[in-house]
Structure 1
Amino acid sequence: MPHAASPAASQPAPPSTSPTARLSLIDVVAQSIGFMGPVFAVSILLPQLVGQNNAGKGAGVAAPLAVLIATVGMLALAWIVATYARRVHHAGSLYNYVTLGLGTRTGAATGLLYYAGIIALGAAIAVLIGGYVHDNLQAEFDVTPLPIWGWQLLFLAALLAVVYFGVQLSTRTQLVLALVSLLVLLVFFVNVIIQLGSDNSLTAFRPSSARDGWGGILFAVLYGVLLFTGFETAANLAEETDNPGRHIPRAVLSSVLIAAVFFTLGTYAQVAGFHFDLGAMAKASGAPLITLGGPDSAGGYGSQAVARLLELVVLLDMIAVYIGVSVAATRGVFALARDRWLPRPLATLSPRTGTPVGATALVGVVYLAVIGISNWFPKLVALPGVPGYFSMFSWASTFGSFSLAVTYLLLAVGGPRGLRDHPRRAAVYTASAIGLVTTAGAVFGALYKVPHPTVYAAYAALAWFAVALLLAVLLGGNSRRVPTPTPQTAS
């Protein structure tokens, strides 16, 4: 039987104060999948999973096992989010969930941290995408039609147009881009596994295969959590979704399951594709997926054309992530401003499209500022041996990932109180405990042995959270509280 929800919690905001759209289940699934960017994530995080990271620890060839364990933790968090989503339909959903569990001011501070993190992730893609296109065109075809900053500005202009002209355009664009890239990479991974034939092995799922044993596997789980970052963002579209109490929970849970299958298959295909050889993976750590897509003479399973196709689908998925992150950011900023935690002009809606024009403008300005810093002040976050745009991507993505991990942690901590009227109390405590352990590990992994200046990104996120708590205390008397749902009558 469906959960009973309070009328106050489930009624959408009045039309004059709420974005206007009527999204379907497939639209909100596309939002979560687009934000996660499975193709983009699985193409860049394999080295970290196997142990080629700052701490030098990982699961080695047992990386697929680490992904499965991370999936358990993320499913626990997804269950908590889905349970809340049946009861609260708000553009700033996640910070409202934390509010129900930990109080108004902590919830507001968490919202300020969470959406700052999402904006940082968008800014990270804003700088990376230009450098990625520029460098690949130069390497593959020896052409440079635009400088890096030119590509960055071109993609930013296209992004803002897509976000402004309607969330349905945004989600459908994400759907096409993500679906094409997922299908291409899925075919490639299956092809690699077929070509391996008898060389396939269950070694990747045995704890004994990990170079550092269970310690390495559990450390890899911290990076496995990052694969799923953004699974919950369908909830930001609750006010714009038909039947949000039904569609949002399904979107959150199904997106985690879809991504888990893809991540496990993709991680296994890459590890097996290097014949479970850590040395071979280390040599290709810069772009393991593209290496596997190359010709047999270069240790791959395809050709130069296949490698270029993989580079293209990674770009397509990167664009989907760019859109998904930005849609989530604009809805979050809009909700915080409408609830008076941010300046009211940021809650302005476009009379033409019904989209949050004030929040979109803020996101565009921040992205533009980060693009400017990465091009004209690259030494601020410079990393040795990598281009300036990648240094900025590393710093901003660390800030964003850490901010989201802290938010997930607080969501798990507040679960038992926020869902105290849930009839399945044991399920609430179990999901909260699993989510807490998983996200606490991810937070630890973002700080442990991370070199300067990248570690400053995590410190900056903590500093911003402290400022957000102070702002929440100062502004608390003027802000609207989220209504507490009525007790549930069934699980």
Structure 2
Amino acid sequence: METPDEVSSTTSPQPATHMKRELGLYASFAVAFGFVSIATGIFTAYGAVLNTSGPRGIWAWPITVVGQTMVALIFGALAARIPISGYAYQWVSRLANPILGWLTGWVSFAFLVIVVVAVDYTIAATILPELFGYVPTAANCWVITSLVMLLQAILVAVSTKLTNKANEIAVTVQIIGMIGLTILLFVVGAILGRLDFATLFAAAPVAEASHWDFGGLTNAGPFPLAFLLGAFTIVGFESAANLAEETKNPERVIPRAMVQAVIALGVLGMLFLIAVTSLAGDTTELAKSPTPVATVITSVLGPIVGKSLLVLVVVSIFSCGLVITLSGTRLIWAMSRDERFPAWQLLRKVSRNRHTPLAATVGYFLVTQGILAIFSGTSDALFVLFSAATLLPAIIYAGTVLLYIVKRKSLPASKGFTLGKWEIPVLILASIWLIYELLIFRDVSFEQPRMYVGIMFAIGVAYLVYLVATRGRKGLSMPDMQDVDKAFDEDTVSEAQ
């Protein structure tokens, strides 16, 4: 029997309840910006890139920005046509078939439950040790990360409005803080005479020979590995589309928010990378540091100013994890609403008073805690986590772009955003970029991330077989395309009454 505080759907695939449309353009931009979070990505992956590709690896960043902008444009075109929570899961289910749609949703779930661990682990492994002067260990990183994830889950469960307000503030702090930090590094570095732009093109600690090679069948060359920095950082912009049912005028707002976030983050991130790298000094020595970016900041700006700015970085990273948690719970809820997720009977419920998917939030938190427990004991936990969190979105993006290519002529009309005459060039550039990105993961160093993807995919296939066996293929069907707008018009009227 349901409690008075909860309601659930009696028919599928109609929404379990109505969520309030209270997000505007800046809130949507903040969701996309907060998920991407250059502070998170650069602080997490810069050390790995320094060791595999050298300082000149930062020049892979602008190429990645262009590639991900093309992907964001395609996602925007889809979001303008099917503005429903669950983004790629919903799009593939409706435009291709429910089986592929379910698999896309499951891969998205596998991504969202590991990327939050990678993001929050960054606080414990790279920022707090520099702030408080302690040595990061598997045990203290585990405890700190677990507590950070708990706080994020509580905020998401309590109130969507409060969560987005906290994220808007954090994103504003991140924008101001990262701009201020970048300017300060350039100014103080120039005054101290420490800026050395020649470092931007240096290879050490990586050997100069074969630096630009693409690599072999089972290994990627030094420079191709540098693309991981941007590929890990500039993902999650599509999280704005995952809150479509809580966004005002989503057909216009969400595409703009995603593209603006990618471009803004790309420019700011490149300037920050140039500042940090030109102040790196002995890059061979810096590569030995477990917290290279934090080390550069505190050495240039001094312990007081440097550590104060690192506090802003912690806020930015927390905001990133918060948005990921918000997005992950919405995906679980959307799939459970359609009766297509394990324990959907419980996870589709929404608090009547708080208008949040409380059960889905708890479920998401428990899964992420399990993943944290599995990976936190490995010696290179951060590398494995961020690698897996880069491979999975690349798979999702590639599948969604392929879907758009196949179905673009049969898409419903959009009232908000279209690619127009730029559609073909955008598709070509996005396809080239995603193929290149996926080929990087043939490297043997990604064996554990590939194993995680394989295990999660196997679990998903097993559950899908169970769904098909118990319901048949028709039991997984989604609403017809022409019914989508009608359903949401009815939702809006119902909510207003």
Q: How does 1:224-239 map to 2 (within 5 A)?
A: 224-239=230-245
Pick one of 398, 421, 431 that aligns with 1:436.
431
Q: How does 1:243-254 map to 2 (within 5 A)?
A: 243-254=249-260
Q: How does 1:42-441 map to 2 (within 5 A)?
A: 42-50=42-50, 52-53=51-52, 58=53, 60-125=54-119, 129=123, 135=129, 139=133, 151-197=144-190, 201=197, 204=200, 211=208, 212-213=211-212, 215=214, 216-274=222-280, 278-284=283-289, 286-294=290-298, 300-342=299-341, 343-373=344-374, 378=377, 382-383=378-379, 391=381, 393-421=382-410, 427-441=422-436
Is residue 126–residue 371 contact of structure 1 (8 Å, CA) maintained in 2? no
The 3-state SS of whatever aligns with 1:19 is: coil
Change (3 A) 1:310 1:333: same
1:37 corresponding residue in structure 2:
37
Task: Work out the CA distance in 2 between the residues paired with 1:195 and 1:473.
Answer: 63
Deviation at 1:30, TM superposition (A): 1.2
The 3-state SS of whatever aligns with 1:256 is: helix
Change (3 A) 1:155 1:201: closer
Pair 1:457-2:452 in alignment: yes
2:481 corresponding residue in structure 1:
484
Aligned partner of 2:292: which letter?
A: P
The 3-state SS of whatever aligns with 1:420 is: helix
Task: Work out the CA distance in 1 between the residues paired with 2:384 and 2:198.
Answer: 36
Aligned partner of 1:67: which letter?
A: W
Task: Work out the CA distance in 2 between the residues paired with 1:454 and 1:158.
Answer: 27
Q: Quick check: 118-127 or 467-476, which moved more?
A: 467-476
Task: Work out the CA distance in 1 between the residues paired with 2:438 and 2:385.
Answer: 16
Deviation at 1:263, TM superposition (A): 1.4
Structure 2: tracts of 5 or more residues without a match: 1-12, 215-221, 412-417, 484-497
Residues 98-147 of structure 1: CA distance to partner in whole angstroms, max 9, x if unpaired?
A: 3355432112211111122101222344555456677456526x9x9x96
Change (3 A) 1:104 1:151: same
Is residue 46–residue 229 contact of structure 2 (8 Å, CA) maintained in 1? no
Change (3 A) 1:333 1:103: same
Is residue 76–residue 256 contact of structure 2 (8 Å, CA) maintained in 1? yes
Instruction: Tell me the matched-pair count.
Output: 446
Is residue 27–residue 168 contact of structure 1 (8 Å, CA) maintained in 2? no
Is residue 47–residue 291 contact of structure 2 (8 Å, CA) maintained in 1? no
Change (3 A) 1:247 1:214: farther
Task: Work out the CA distance in 2 between the residues paired with 1:63 and 1:289.
Answer: 15
Structure 1: tracts of 5 or more residues without a match: 1-12, 295-299, 487-491
Task: Work out the CA distance in 2 between the residues paired with 1:243 and 1:210.
Answer: 52
Task: Work out the CA distance in 2 between the residues paired with 1:434 and 1:320.
Answer: 31
Is residue 117–residue 400 contact of structure 1 (8 Å, CA) maintained in 2? yes
The 3-state SS of whatever aligns with 1:301 is: helix
Task: Work out the CA distance in 2 between the residues paired with 1:430 and 1:465.
Answer: 34
Residues 166-193 of structure 1: CA distance to partner in whole angstroms, max 9, x if unpaired?
A: 2221122122223223322322222222
Deviation at 1:32, TM superposition (A): 1.1
Task: Work out the CA distance in 2 between the residues paired with 1:179 and 1:210.
Answer: 40
Task: Work out the CA distance in 1 between the residues paired with 2:246 and 2:423.
Answer: 28
Is residue 239–residue 327 contact of structure 2 (8 Å, CA) maintained in 1? yes
Aligned partner of 2:431: which letter?
A: L
Residues 240-272 of structure 1: CA distance to partner in whole angstroms, max 9, x if unpaired?
A: 011111111111111101111111111111221
Change (3 A) 1:371 1:417: closer
Change (3 A) 1:172 1:205: farther
Deviation at 1:302, TM superposition (A): 1.0
The 3-state SS of whatever aligns with 2:62 is: helix
Deviation at 1:156, TM superposition (A): 3.5
Aligned partner of 2:392: which letter?
A: S
Change (3 A) 1:466 1:427: farther
The 3-state SS of whatever aligns with 1:213 is: coil
Task: Work out the CA distance in 2 between the residues paired with 1:127 and 1:452.
Answer: 20
Task: Work out the CA distance in 2 between the residues paired with 1:397 and 1:237.
Answer: 24
